[in-house]
Structure formats: structure tokens, C-alpha cells
């Protein structure tokens, strides 16, 4: 994920009026900004934990490439085919096998664009995401959690992007920020496996075959007609 940060004024203001932060575990929180400089609704604690603190409004533009029309598969051809949600676009994507396809994608501007149990997050969250989208949310902010922290899960497991909001729980969580997971090597992060559970150090666990790419194009072996995979039918079975 990629964000612009600025010095946090929140802690200074709270100190000046003799107040404590809503959650004392999140020390020196710094607001995270989207690429345009606008608020994201998230803040980063000094220990690396990222929490959602409020809702925000985003530009619902999807900058993904439009469907070309010659893709071998997909569920749409034009934006008009994408009417199941807000700001639907039919975009060109390339699968793990290097095969292009068309897919409907629905951008959100606010929480009002999302179904119950989800919130709108900016494209800065999520690998390869080009638009703000609705993601599963067990919480919307600190007030929804006993811990006072509604944590961000933003993890690519090797097959798909997992972006969710889950309450932090100091009694069961094994980590708070990616810095707690450096002992596992590159690619490890403090996240939450899909479906809930505790925040813990995770690495890519989904491994699928990928073609060799040369100049961006998949390099595969030539097709050869063969029959050695067939089940041989004995004469007694055929009669």
C-alpha cells in the first residue's frame, strides 16, 4: 500500500486540552492520506498498526483499461453490462495464466455505496487495485471494538487480495505492525487470514502455477497431439 503521511496534530491537540486519545494503545497516530492529499479515514500508529477511525469520501473513478472486446472470456463487453452496483465499469484484466478477460468492477465514493457489512476503502489499500471499493468490515471504527481499534487487513496471499477490517484484540493478537514480522523474511506482514481470527504474522500461502513471461507475453510449450493419457479399453470391455 502507498500513502502520503503528514505530522499528526491530533496528539498535540489532545495534550493541550488535557485529554487522552480514544485508544492509548495506538501511540502517536498519524493520519494517512490518499494520493490526492485527501483524508483516507485511516491512521497509522507508531508501532505500524493501521486502523480505521472515520469514514471518508473518495473519487469513484476506475482508471483500469476498458475491455477491448477480443478477450477470450469474461462477464461483460461494455460498461452498460455492469449494472449490479454503483459506478460499474467493464475492464480488461489479465489472469494468473497470462490469459486476458473482461470483468465488471464497481467503485464506491462513500459507505452509502456499499452493502451492509462492508465499507468503502481507497485504492491505496490492495495490490493492483485502481479504484475505491467495498470491502468486508467487522467494524467501522474504534467505537465498534472492545479494544478501541478497528484494524486494517491488507494482505495478498499469493492468489487473491484480502482487504478487510477487523477488531484488534491484545489478548490474542500476535503482532501489531509489519515490523513485528521481519523474522519471517521478506513478504511477511501482520495481518489476518480471511474469515477473521487474530492478527498474526502471515506470508503468502496460496501458490499456483504461472507461465514464464518474456516481454510480458506467456512463453508456453507448443501443442502436441497425443493419446497416451487415454484409458485403454480392453476387448472384453468393449464387447
Q: Distance between alpha carbon 110 and the CA centroid of its chain, in Å?
A: 17
CA distance 177 to 23: 16
CA distance 166 to 149: 9
In the chain, domain spans: 4-61+107-212, 62-106
Residue 230's pLDDT band, with cuts at 50, 70 and 90, is: very low
Q: pLDDT digit string (tens) for 178-206?
A: 999 988 887 788 987 666 679 999 887 66
CA distance 130 to 128: 6
Contact 73, 95 (CB under 8 A): no
CA distance 116 to 121: 14
Q: Distance between alpha carbon 44 and the CA centroid of its chain, in Å?
A: 17
More reliable by pLDDT, 234 or 13: 234
Q: pLDDT digit string (tens) for 51-63?
A: 999 999 999 999 8
CA distance 173 to 187: 19
CA distance 129 to 184: 26
Residue 2's pLDDT band, with cuts at 50, 70 and 90, is: low
pLDDT exceeds cutoff 70 at 169: yes
Residue 33's pLDDT band, with cuts at 50, 70 and 90, is: very high
Q: pLDDT digit string (tens) for 94-141?
A: 886 788 999 999 999 999 999 999 999 999 988 778 899 999 999 999
The closest alpha carbon to 118, from 95, 147, 85, 88, belongs to 85
Counting runs of H as helices and runs of E as strands, what totals does the chain give?
A: 2, 15
The closest alpha carbon to 51, from 68, 29, 71, 73, belongs to 29
- Alpha helix positions (H), the chain: 10-16, 235-238
Amino acid at each position: 500500500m502507498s500513502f502520503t503521511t503528514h505530522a499528526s496534530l491530533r496528539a498535540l491537540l489532545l495534550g493541550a486540552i488535557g485529554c487522552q486519545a480514544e485508544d492509548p494503545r495506538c501511540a502517536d497516530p498519524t493520519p494517512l492520506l490518499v494520493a490526492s492529499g485527501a483524508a483516507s479515514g485511516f491512521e497509522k500508529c507508531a508501532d505500524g498498526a493501521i486502523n480505521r477511525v472515520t469514514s471518508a469520501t473518495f473519487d469513484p473513478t476506475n482508471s483500469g483499461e476498458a475491455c477491448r472486446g477480443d478477450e477470450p472470456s469474461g462477464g461483460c463487453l461494455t460498461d452498460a453490462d455492469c449494472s449490479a452496483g454503483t459506478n460499474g465499469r467493464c475492464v480488461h484484466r489479465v489472469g494468473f495464466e497470462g490469459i486476458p478477460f473482461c470483468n465488471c468492477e464497481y467503485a464506491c465514493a462513500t459507505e452509502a455505496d456499499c452493502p451492509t457489512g462492508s465499507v468503502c476503502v481507497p485504492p491505496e489499500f490492495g495490490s493492483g487495485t485502481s479504484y475505491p471499493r467495498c470491502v468486508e468490515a467487522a467494524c467501522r471504527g474504534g467505537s465498534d471494538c472492545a479494544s478501541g481499534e478497528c484494524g486494517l487487513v491488507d494482505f495478498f496471499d499469493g492468489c487473491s487480495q484480502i482487504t478487510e477490517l477487523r477488531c484488534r484484540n491484545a489478548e490474542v493478537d500476535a503482532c501489531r505492525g509489519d515490523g513485528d514480522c521481519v523474522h519471517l523474511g521478506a513478504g511477511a506482514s501482520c495481518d489476518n487470514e480471511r474469515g477473521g481470527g487474530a492478527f498474526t504474522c502471515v506470508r503468502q500461502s496460496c501458490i499456483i502455477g504461472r507461465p514464464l513471461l518474456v516481454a510480458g507475453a506467456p512463453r508456453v510449450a507448443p501443442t502436441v497431439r497425443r493419446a497416451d493419457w487415454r484409458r485403454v479399453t480392453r476387448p472384453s470391455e468393449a464387447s
